[in-house]
Structure 1
Amino acid sequence: MARKPSMGRQKIEIKRINCEASRQVTFSKRRAGLFKKASELCTLCGAETAILVFSPAGKVFSFGHPSVDSVVERFLSENAPPQEESMQIVEAHRGASVRELNRQYTEVVNQLEMEKKRAEVIQQSSAAQVRQGEAWWEAPIDNMGLLELQQLMISMEQLKRNVTKRADELVAKAAVSSPFLAINSMGIMDRYAAAAARHVPNPNNSQAIVPHGHGHGYGFNFGRGFY
């Protein structure tokens, strides 16, 4: 049977998205991508950039290097007066700090994307094990990397906390539904101790009661007790 030829990667037609939810999701993704590209441009080339974006709901988002205000003011001021030397030093230091922050931001975004991909791989692997009748905690760990082992450890600790919490809830529920289980055992022993104290001979009393030779109990309502 001949295999159906693949359509390959197709271009998405650029037009307004009618679905409001899909339009909002697309806006969030494209806005993040736009800001990321602008940050990379500033880091690689030392460019000064300002971006203003209004969402379909009217909420404003901005990105600027070194800041939106400084870039806009520079754009609006055609004949800006020369800055003093001290101000130039301050601006240079500020620009270096912003470039470093942009670099760190780009690294964090890249790491976040890698972690999302790793999480998707782990979820797919766990789903495949469940379909095969295996529990996710029984997965072989020989081929796991450090991040996968850390994620597995966190998941198992969370499972342990959930099991402990559920067990405590069941025990508390059983105690409430069965009052006999909630009786204080010390209270029962206290009653036996009080009964025993009433039959302890007083050493100062010469007429102290002596237990009968063939008695089978000692006053605890068992056997024949004292006479």
Structure 2
Amino acid sequence: MPRCPRGRRKIKMAKMENESNLQVTFSKRRTSLFNKASELSTLCDAEVGVIVFSPSDKVYSFGHPSLEAVTHRFLTGNPPAPTDFSGTEVFIQAQRNASLFQLNKQLSRVLTELDEARKEGEEIDKMTKVRNGFFLLVHENLFNN
């Protein structure tokens, strides 16, 4: 029986009831949100701060140049005092940002692979149940006749 591709489909905006699906979706979307925040800060030289509380009350944050600098600027309305970065410090910060971006991409890829593996496992479980039901039916018919 061929699988019908689902492709991208519109998801109704309502709280998910299944806790497992909720956690997986939260992790994927959190990663995507942080990737977008990183891209925005890199491409537009914007100061960005994101704080997210998970369904299990864990705190996740992203800030560029740092979350403290962004919150200080937001609360006071004043930009932080300029710091005199040497070339080495700027290079180190750029390396950190690049590493963070790559790690976020890698995490997103691994979460996608995990989700696909879960779906394959569910399909195998369904096929096993159908096969077991078929063999039980054949077994009963052989011994009842």
TM range (shorter): 0.5 to 0.7
CA deviation after TM superposition for structure 1 residue 53, in Å: 1.1
Q: CA RMSD in A?
A: 3.4
Indicate conservation of the 8 Å contact 1:50/1:63, yes or no. yes
CA offset at residue 130 of structure 1? 0.5
Structure 1 residues not aligned, in runs of 5+: 1-8, 135-227
Work out which of the two has the higher radius of gyration on C-alpha atoms and give 1 or 2: 1
Distance in 2 (alpha carbons) for counterparts of 1:97 and 1:10 = 32
**What amino acid sits opposite 1:31 in the alignment?**
F
* Matched-pair contact (CA < 8 Å) for 2:52–2:60: yes
User: CA, structure 1 residues 25+118, in 2 after alignment: closer, same or farther (shift >3 Å)?
Assistant: closer
1:87-102 matches, cutoff 5 A: 87-102=89-104
Given that residues 52 and 61 in structure 2 are in contact (C-alpha distance below 8 angstroms), is that contact kept between their aligned partners in structure 1? yes
Distance 1:90 1:82 in 2: 15
How far is the alpha carbon of 1:117 from its aligned partner?
1.0
Distance change in 2, residues 1:11/1:108 (3 Å): closer
- Cα shift at 1:23: 8.7
- Aligned counterpart in structure 2 of residue 28 of structure 1, from 23, 27, 32: 23
Deviation at 1:90, TM superposition (A): 1.3
Structure 2: gaps spanning 5 or more residues: 1-9, 42-47, 137-145
What TM-score comes out, normalization by structure 2 length? 0.60
**Seq. identity, %:** 15
Letter in 2 for 1:113: D
- Structure 2 letter corresponding to 1:104: Q
Q: Distance in 2 between matches of 1:106 and 1:65?
A: 19
Of the two structures, which has the highest relative contact order with CA contacts closer than 8 Å and spacing of 6 or more? 2
SS in 2 for 1:52: strand
| 1:120–1:37 Cα change, 3 Å | same
